[in-house]
Structure 1
């Protein structure tokens, strides 16, 4: 595991500029954070106790120690100052809330776009299928603080008994299956569907990737947009989808055609796909699985291998669970009271997850093992312990609402 990093100081430098919080300052170096702040126009013209760089690291620390109060997180940041920590005056909760608002969401969003890329290298075990980097797309929802602003902007789910207890934001992500590294994310209101949000992610796809998706994503237009990225696709479709057999191939798969809605009856402008059908009869599951793929040559990717590969789609669900259950904490809601703070917090969670997964990938490469063999929960605990004077922090999570959290 990496050692806690310290930002070097120079004569006349502000104490707050020397904050370091272990793996986070290694994944997101101060120089890069400063570039992003300048790029997004969030720099300050006057000296502050909480300059923009410190606020970025505060948001990341807040998402690393989810559930702790603002001032407790600020104390942890101060412990990174080493011998200068006596000069660090812990800001008030109100001051931190104002600093978060000044920062806004854009620096976190840009930092995510700059840093969060697929992690696997050619030697990474479990991240590749033949010549393809295996990635997946999926979505989830996050419970938000019960405020009028969050309710109006994001909405809340309906239930059989009425409206849900909390507003919710929708998150759709792209992740590398073998490393669980999230390299694309879009946040939206609950009323915005996963398909609509996923369209904004396809610019992150590259030739040489193989994108897995479940049947909730398939639609002709979405398929075409993803295909235009240059990546290959392997998506599940409904068992009753109209997929005429054009030619049966030697591995049992077959070529078919799909059409835009307006061309479906006339069968004009066909797009050729390959269909793989299978069941999991050995497990007692007689469900018919139907996959469509852009890989038309069975010699490049035999049907049996693609059927087995599709199970890797579950890795993105595990990834989202790492963020929601282990990093954030089960049944906890995001603390931010306003939509800008919600998005800032979500990108903070994603950035912290990336830093942890990057560390795990480095350790797996060093040991020559599949990253899946390493425990995310154990690594998260190690990263948290790297923050100096961790014993000064309450070991239990603070329930939502115990501390006031502006923003």
Structure 2
């Protein structure tokens, strides 16, 4: 059966222009020009697809996953032209011309933009985003299917399967998320073979701050990564495997206890790090009672964070699973894999996806705070639809 080619409206209406405005509000033209000059990717001559327009186009691919490449380009260029008080003439470009424009842009520009744009957005003390003066963050990783092309397969690799390999190569994505707003504040992208611990070791030193409380699951704990994260000044509450030996050094008033951890290479055990251990079991829930949890934290005083409170707070870590669901299900719509056919363009597309997600989530947070709501109370799917079709508020358009 022949597939019906989806098209966007022939006339770019206010709703589509609003979408361009949301993207432009996150990445202003001045910032894009600055990054293009810094990376040496600014257009050297007048082109039908100048570099700044391609930047917005890459972000827009995340909003219109279901539309052909040429349709997305037309909407973005006409929308940006309208925002800039231009004539809004249609831009005609083939898939080949679009691919060449994206290749000229490369991935580094989008990466540098993400480094400049992605950040926490919750103001101090906002309920649901802070705990005792600490911004609640979560660290986790996921994978994204990429096009089954030879170059992608060689660079990203396939995950193992019971018989042979999986259908598509996969890119690994590591994210640091602000739990109260679902905003991705920092990320790393790499091949499937990259371990999440190794990626976290590159990400955390530059991105952790002293006012953060970082939650992570048991696959992240390792002495070197723990020591590295502690050195940033951030507070940590990470789940650890039950096989980790944590001898009791001193029992504290709230039932937690102090212990010591060592580097596996420290045979003489001369350089310990003191941790506080919280053991607990969830009752009256779907998880079997015998499945106990063990957290370690560098908050050593119960007065600063009670064990029961930290045990309850740890489950905010699941907020990051919702963020990955927003990437993989709601932004990608019916698309099962990323569009790009080379590793460079895959990374470019992923950074564009992160920037578009940030734009949506920042707008949702601002809308919620104006009405005294928790951003979690708003529907991400509904927000995406509003941004794409139904939201003619002038506030979405940057001056």
Residue 116 of structure 1 corresponds to 118
Partners of 1:55 and 1:46 lie apart in 2 by 15
**Residue-by-residue CA offset, 1:153-187 (whole Å, 9 max, x unaligned):** 01011111111100000000101011111011111
TM alignment of 1:153-302, pairs within 5 A = 153-202=155-204, 203-263=206-266, 265-283=267-285, 284-302=288-306
* 1:75 shift after superposition: 1.8
Residue 66 of structure 2 corresponds to 67
* 1:285 shift after superposition: 2.9
Residues 201 and 126 of structure 1, relative CA distance in 2, 3 Å threshold: same
5+ residue gaps, structure 1: 7-18, 389-407
Residue 45 of structure 2 corresponds to 46
8 Å Cα contact 1:78-1:85 kept in structure 2: no
8 Å Cα contact 2:248-2:258 kept in structure 1: yes
Partners of 1:30 and 1:73 lie apart in 2 by 19
Equivalent position SS for 1:261: coil
Residue 27 of structure 1 corresponds to 26
2:308 is equivalent to residue 309 of structure 1: no
TM-score by length of structure 2 reads 0.90
Partners of 2:265 and 2:312 lie apart in 1 by 34
Partners of 1:382 and 1:200 lie apart in 2 by 36
TM-score by length of structure 1 reads 0.88
* 1:123 shift after superposition: 4.9
8 Å Cα contact 2:78-2:88 kept in structure 1: no
Partners of 1:121 and 1:387 lie apart in 2 by 25
Residue 352 of structure 1 corresponds to 356
Partners of 1:4 and 1:65 lie apart in 2 by 13
**Residue-by-residue CA offset, 1:109-147 (whole Å, 9 max, x unaligned):** 011010110011025320001110000110000001000
**Residue-by-residue CA offset, 1:364-389 (whole Å, 9 max, x unaligned):** 1101111111111100111111699x
Residue 332 of structure 2 corresponds to 328
**Residue-by-residue CA offset, 1:282-330 (whole Å, 9 max, x unaligned):** 2253211000000000011000000000000001111111111111135
Partners of 1:316 and 1:188 lie apart in 2 by 19
What RMSD in Å do the two structures reach over aligned CA positions?
A: 1.9
**Residue-by-residue CA offset, 1:19-55 (whole Å, 9 max, x unaligned):** 9812111111111111111111111221000010010
